[in-house]
Chain A
Amino acid sequence: MGSLSASLNIALQSMLAEQGAIETTSNNIANANTPGYSRQRPDLEEMPPVKLGGITLGAGVQMTQVSSLRDKVLELRIDQETQQQGQLNSFISGGQQVQVLFNETSGTGLQAPLSNFFNSLSELSTNPSDLTTRQNVITAAQNLANAFNQTSTNLATLQRNTDLAAQQSVTQINSLITQIAQVNQQVVAATTTGGNAGPFEDQRQQLIGKLSNYIDVAEVDAGNNSLTLTTAGGSALVVGGQSFALTTNADPVTGFQNVYSNGNNITSKIMGGELAGQVQIRDQEIPGIQNSLDALAFQLSTAVNQQNQAGFDLNGSAGGNIFNALAQQGGAAASLRVSITDPGKIAASGGPAPGTPGDNTNANALLALQNQNFISGLTPTNFYSNLVFKIGNDISSAETNQSSGGQVLLQLQNLQGGISGVDINEEAANLMRFQNAYQASAQVSSIINRLMDVTMNMMG
């Protein structure tokens, strides 16, 4: 047998449940534009039925919980793509600054000074006794040395700037993992007390997304909704409520900051995020270009010096060095100088000693270097042209990957939005539904109220 008071109770319960649903809807609408927010759903459930004298009666509705709608696998995929994008973005941004130094399409780079140097020798070969022509060779050699110096210095500056950026990335990473560790604890607390951990998870997910922009992150479920974060190489970043800050320490050889996790140097093991791109530019791309420049400067100046030594200068002495004698290839581009100021010292003449002012035999030999394959098996211009190709191509490949990865990321974000994004129309429809149900329950309680009045009056 049912009772009026039970009915009244059901109506009141229902009003409470719908009220909760309306509140959830209102919260969804309020957070429609909040970054990282996952839409929430009020979970309405039937109350356990009541058995009265052989009859099982329904006991109304209750709102058991509010759950956030999310797809953890999608989130993981988005994080992975974000890591790749972060790496490519910082690589491309660094690479673009590098390629400005070699932008031959606008005439910036070593081609012009290199060609001019050989052109001055070409002129010398037609007029070996002329002092102005000889002076031009020295000037062209100085311009070439300056171009090497300047390019090398600019590369070193870019490398230092990238090193600073990498340190800033580490600072960001440390700040993020501290926050993630705190939120991770809040997620666990909310989960174990049976509350809705959704908002905390949103926050944690957003922080992991930001972290993914800086470094590669692997996630392991540690139970109770807790996450353990490590780098892809397995270095711990966050375990439960504890974060493991990365540290930096200057490399004894390069002077650049290496990244350490718990005392282990993980610099070369960082696989994703901006930090990976920065390390790649700093430790591979720029050193590679510097090496090529050094090889060109060293082998070219050595060959020119050797050839000049083979001839005789305007004063009849055996030729010496035109460029300073470099002891080693490393750092050659930065330390290349012209070591003569006297235009007579250029050994245009061939033998026998003491040579003659009108003899251009050795000037011809110096000029012939232009088309000899002596820079790692290539002519100076072809060697340099290959370097320009490599610089452009590294950026171009990264840009292709960035663009295709960006498309994938956008797709994934759209899929995630399909699951977690707030749709105002949908919320409006829900609002109407919950409003109707609330109004109906209110109406029911008012009717029961009247029925109670009737019953009371029967007694009077």
Chain B
Amino acid sequence: METLPLTEPVLLMLLSLAERPRHGYSILKDVERISGGRVKLSTGTLYGALRRLLDDDWIERVEEDESPRDRRPYRLTPRGRRNLQLEVERMRHLTKLATLRVARKEA
């Protein structure tokens, strides 16, 4: 079960899916790209996280007639998008707090 705060790989995967629906390989490459090559997911890690996100109804499979069974894309559900927004909000608050504290220390 995914809980907040999210781990970095899961957060990056959700951010990748927030843009548009993607299939597994596309998520893998996008996570690598948006993390600047720092986070490279293995397929085991990727699909373990996808399974948990599917179970928790954070993402869903896009059923398209033209997409083959092994190339079905995933997309965020409203619940997943809401949780991602909560996480981003939490991080924004943390960053703001950290910036204030660091600035106060320097002053």
- Whether A and B are associated in the same complex: the answer reads no
Which A residues lie at the B interface, using CB under 8 A?
none
Which B residues lie at the A interface, using CB under 8 A?
none
